[in-house]
Amino acid sequence: MSTKVRKEKPFYPDHLFTEAVVALVVLAVVMLLAAFTVVPTEPIANPTDTSYIPRPEWYFLFLFQALKYFHGPAEVLGTFLLPTVFILLLILLPFYDRNPAKRWSKRPVALSSASVILIGVIVLTFLAGPVSTVTLFANPAHGKQIYAAKYCDSCHSLTGAATTDGPPDLLHVGSRLEPQYIYDHFKNPSALVKNSEMPPVTGLSDKDLKDLTAYMMSLK
């Protein structure tokens, strides 16, 4: 009975060369995306806009979502201490875990822990994403029709110009505000913006308000 001998390769130069090639390919892809892909930017910062909700890039959204579960002094624990400990454990992994096995049955603790952490990051990222029950089944095309029928353009512009007084420009409102905030603002503006001159949007069904909100969210 023959025994299959596992062929091993040295880290240098074989494995290091493979890693270098992969890194160069990834770098090339990123450079091509940066050169030929247009990423929309947000409008000029308006210091008088107190309704603006800053959001990080997608790869930090899980930490952004964690802020909702760690309040007060506990914020440091959830957004700094725990991620720092996790990163240190990854850096020190080769020193405290020398088990060469790759099967789940032989490394249940390590693989289960990594899986739970990965699933947690994915779930938190999803929860912090743009998915909202307000606009989940809404029709932005119908919302655009409502926008015109209600003569919203008589006060609000869609030019992208920064405004310091009066009704704000709505060209990039979808990248600045959350769907729930816009929906609630339509129903009762003065409850969210002190001394708001905008009247509540009346004469619309709940479905119409959600469609109008969806149209606002489409303005990126």
Residue 207 sits in a domain whose CATH number is: 1.10.760.10
Residues 147 and 207 in one domain: yes
Q: Do the domain assignments include residue 12?
A: no
The reported pLDDT for the residue numbered 53 is 64
| 191 compared with 16, residue with greater pLDDT | 16
Minimal CA–CA distance to 177: which of 39, 41, 38, 42?
A: 42
* Residue 27 pLDDT level (bands cut at 50, 70, 90): very high
Residues 90 and 154 in one domain: no
Q: Identify the H or E element spanning 77.
A: none
| 31 compared with 72, residue with greater pLDDT | 31
Q: Is 220 helix (H, G, I), strand (E, B) or coil?
A: coil
Tens digits of residue pLDDT in 28-55: 999 999 898 877 666 667 676 655 667 7
Tens digits of residue pLDDT in 81-120: 988 998 998 888 888 888 877 787 888 888 888 889 899 9
Tens digits of residue pLDDT in 148-191: 888 888 888 777 666 666 677 777 777 778 888 888 888 888 88
Residues 124 and 162 in one domain: no
71 pLDDT higher than 90: no
The reported pLDDT for the residue numbered 69 is 85
> Measured between alpha carbons, how far is 137 from 214 in angstroms, rounded to an integer?
9
Q: Which domain holds residue 197?
A: 140-217
Residues 109 and 156 in one domain: no
The reported pLDDT for the residue numbered 18 is 92
